[in-house]
Amino acid sequence: MTASAAVDGTYGFVLATRDPTHGLSFWSADYGYGPLFNATVFSEADAAAHAPAIADDQLEWLALPAPLVPRSER
């Protein structure tokens, strides 16, 4: 599952690290660290059980927000 799945109502957690040159990078099981749109999305249980891949900086779990609903659709 990728971060783009969040648009379809699948929410979860992504693993992030900060790179001094590129800013935030997110873990992808398919591509390694890279942009958010390629990130692997973990359930809360999967995030708790996941052994993070090695990175140069401290890793952090970030929760994906629910998609915003346009005001006109409320």
Please indicate, yes or no, whether the overall pTM of this predicted structure exceeds 0.85.
no
Show the domain range for 56: 3-65
Q: Indicate whether 31 belongs to any domain.
A: yes
Q: How far is residue 9 CA from its own chain's centroid?
A: 14
Q: Which residue has the tokens 């970030």?
A: 62
Decide if 70 is inside a domain. no
If phi > 0 it is left, if psi is from -120 to 50 it is alpha, else beta; for residue 57 that is: beta
Q: CA 21, 67, 36: angle at the middle one, nearest 5?
A: 25
Q: Please give the pLDDT value at position 4.
A: 57
pLDDT in 10s for each residue of the chain, 74 residues: 555 554 454 578 899 998 888 899 999 999 999 999 899 988 888 888 877 766 566 888 898 877 666 566 65
Query: What pLDDT was estimated at residue 38?
Result: 92
pLDDT at 73: 61
- Please report, as a single letter, which amino acid is at residue 40: T
Number of domains in the chain: 1
Q: Let me know if residue 27 belongs to a domain.
A: yes
In this predicted structure, what is the pLDDT of residue 44?
82
